[in-house]
Structure 1
Amino acid sequence: MSGQNLTRRAIPEGAKVHSWEAPDGQRLRAFAWPAATATPRGSILFQGGRGDIFEKYIETMAHWHAQGWTITSFDWRGQGGSGRLTPAGDCGHIEDFGDYIADFRAFYAEWQASTPGPHVVMGHSMGGHLVLRALVEGVAAPDAAVLIAPMLGFKSPFGPFGERMARILGNVGNSARPAWKIKNEKPYTRDSRYSLLTHDPDRYDDEIWWHSEKPEIVTGPPSWRWVIEAFRSMRELRDSARLKKMTVPVLMLVAKADGLVDARAALKIGAKLKDARIVSFGKESAHEILREADPVRNRAIGEIDLFLAARAQQR
């Protein structure tokens, strides 16, 4: 194993993986990496997407930790190391996206009170959707937020009828059942999972390595209820009058060639935000911008660093 892979395939020295209890008693797996300096730069709460695990982002977290940031993350309920909410194997299930927001509200309050400022929240994909929803609903008010390939619309095979079809198909029988059988990020596709996520085979293999080391953290397809609730949450956020009133500075990174989420929906919502900088990537980037090949990843991290320097200044 190369030294680079060793860095990406090990929990860093000084970091802690622990269990956090949500208000309803659900146990969620969390990651805490305190700044290794007497004068911390600030604190970052980084939230991944559907089916994600925080191990996938250790390489990127290490970049900010080296700058003096305290890094924190947790696996969303029903996925990763936070257990399952349905007996259907590795199915990623949720009854209501409001459950995610309730977890985020409680975790954020504890995190903000116990870590040094300025406070920055970052979210990738579903995490980006939930972070933005939390900001708009007033659940969290960090100094700045970064949304990476946020899930604000789907690339649905049914086009504008996607939500309606999900309700028709998903409400036949048990909606907690897996929405599809294949181990891919979406159904009805000839694209490989690898090509949907990144152009970097080594970074893709990092996730596979973690899955082989810890099979219990693997999350497969979502449940039909997750799909239905995702459509509903995205629609309600898209139509919210509070989008234009939300004042937290936002940096949004969008992959226009994203095969999983609808980049056009993200761009439209980004244009409604009061204080947002939007950075777009072309065909050089798939969905996982921060796990892309170096030219894309380096540009993305550079944009984030500049944004943090300007909008989350050290206290």
Structure 2
Amino acid sequence: MHAQKIEINRRAIPSDATESMWQAADGWPIRRIDWQGATQPRGSMLFLPGRGDHYEKYLETLAFYAALGWRVTSIDWRGQGLSGRLLEDPQVGHIDDFSTWISDLRYFWKSWKATTPGPHVVLAHSMGGHLAMRALVEGAFDPDAVALSAPMLGIQTGGLPLWLNHAFAKLMCKIGREDLPAWKVSEKPLSSMNVRGNILTGDKDRYEDELAWWALRPEVKLGPPSWHWIERAIASIRLLDEPGKLEAVKTPILLMATTADQLVSTPRVIKDSKRLPHSETLIFGKEAAHELLREVDAVRDQCLDRITLFMDQYAPQK
């Protein structure tokens, strides 16, 4: 099997996609994009992006699954993309607590599932992968199958224990730096913007798609996270450490990751996969960076093929 080529302009919203705003339970505006798909749809797929992401980055992948017959939807997380910012400085990524995102997802899922054809599946990247896993653990949603790209089940800690990173983040919040960016630029501490592309993907053109969207829609750009985001992220990761949490998840899950990832911990992804009752893995090496779904074709096609086979097996068309 080989992923079929879907030729789209990655720097324009496809004519068959609809952008709109949805309101969370508390009235917060959440931006979404939807493909209605085929007359007799394959099912419905919800894509959950990563930290700092906006759905424009993934148009190529979303269009791919729409072409396969899925009714595809993606959202911008609260505080990201065009879903409204949470701090006076709009360039700082922030959230009061990851449970807020879980609540948004719970509320969105209930409405979305009720108005779309089954089976219902989830594809999620990085932070979106972490939130999908937490939502499964907490019973916030009930997809038939889930595929995760470089899920943030752990983070790179510079060789230090996670608890020590957590203690430092708590200290920074305690001394009044909770709303300030944890570093200056790029996606990780001490990395410059000119190496950001290499951290994310080996495909120069796909990387530049994001920069093009920043020029077309400057409001979607988001910079480094706040110290409070860092502290809450580690707290949420540690929550999944609790015995029995992952072991109780019955949903079939595909976890895709790369040992060359500089942002999330692939050893943690592999470790957690062994705790899940129904999991499969696809692990890359130096040929892939963090954004697997925006990588060179040799990597991305493997991911698309594996996701398609996984969904066919565990979420067959009804």
Q: TM-score, structure 2 length as denominator? A: 0.95
Partners of 2:263 and 2:7 in 1: CA distance = 26
Q: Distance in 2 between matches of 1:109 and 1:131?
A: 15
In structure 2, what is the equivalent of residue 94 of structure 1? 95
Structure 1 residues 221 and 74: CA distance shift in structure 2, 3 A: same
Which residue does 1:206 correspond to in 2?
A: 209
Superimposed CA distance per residue, residues 189-208 of structure 1 (whole angstroms, 9 cap, x where no aligned partner): 36811010000000000010
Does 2:179 correspond to 1:176?
yes
1:17 is matched with 19
What does residue range 13-162 of structure 1 map to in structure 2 within 5 Å? 13-35=15-37, 37-157=38-158, 159-160=160-161, 161-162=164-165
Is the CA contact 1:158–1:165 (under 8 Å) kept in the aligned structure 2?
no
Instruction: Say whether the 8 Å CA contact 1:197–1:287 is kept in structure 2.
Output: yes
Shift of the alpha carbon at 1:176? 1.6
Identity value in percent: 46
Q: Which of residues 197, 216, 221 in structure 1 aligns to 2:224?
A: 221
User: CA offset at residue 171 of structure 1?
Assistant: 2.4
Number of matched pairs: 310
The residue number in structure 1 matching 2:294 is 291
Distance between the aligned counterparts of 1:275 and 1:309, measured in 2?
Answer: 15
CA–CA separation in structure 2 for the residues paired with 1:119 and 1:134: 15
1:266 alignment partner, one of 266, 269, 293 = 269
Q: CA deviation at 1:240?
A: 4.6
1:5–1:176 Cα change, 3 Å: farther
CA contact (8 A) 1:196 1:258 kept: yes
- CA apart distance, 1:158: 5.9
Partner of 1:277: 280
Q: Which moved more, 1:163-172 or 1:300-309?
A: 163-172
- Cα distance, 1:283 vs. partner? 0.6
SS of 1:192's equivalent in the other structure is helix
5+ residue gaps, structure 1: none
Q: In the alignment, what sits opposite 1:185?
A: 187
SS of equivalent residue, structure 1 residue 164: helix
Deviation at 1:6, TM superposition (A): 5.5
| 1:297-312 equivalence runs, <5 A | 297-312=300-315
Letter in 2 for 1:201: K
CA distance in 2, matches of 1:49, 1:64: 19
Which one-letter code corresponds to 1:28 in the other structure? I
Q: State the partner residue of 1:241.
A: 244
Give the TM-score of the pair, scaled to structure 1: 0.95
Residue type of the alignment partner of 1:193: R
Aligned alpha-carbon RMSD (Å): 1.4
The residue matched to 2:33 in structure 1 has which SS?
strand
Can you list the C-alpha shifts for 1:55-87, whole angstroms capped at 9, x where unaligned?
Answer: 111111111111100000110011111111000
Q: Distance in 1 between matches of 2:173 and 2:239?
A: 19
Which blocks of at least 5 consecutive residues in structure 2 are unaligned?
A: 1-5
Give the C-alpha shift of residue 214 in structure 1.
Answer: 0.5
Could you tell me which amino acid in structure 2 is paired with residue 18 of structure 1?
A: S
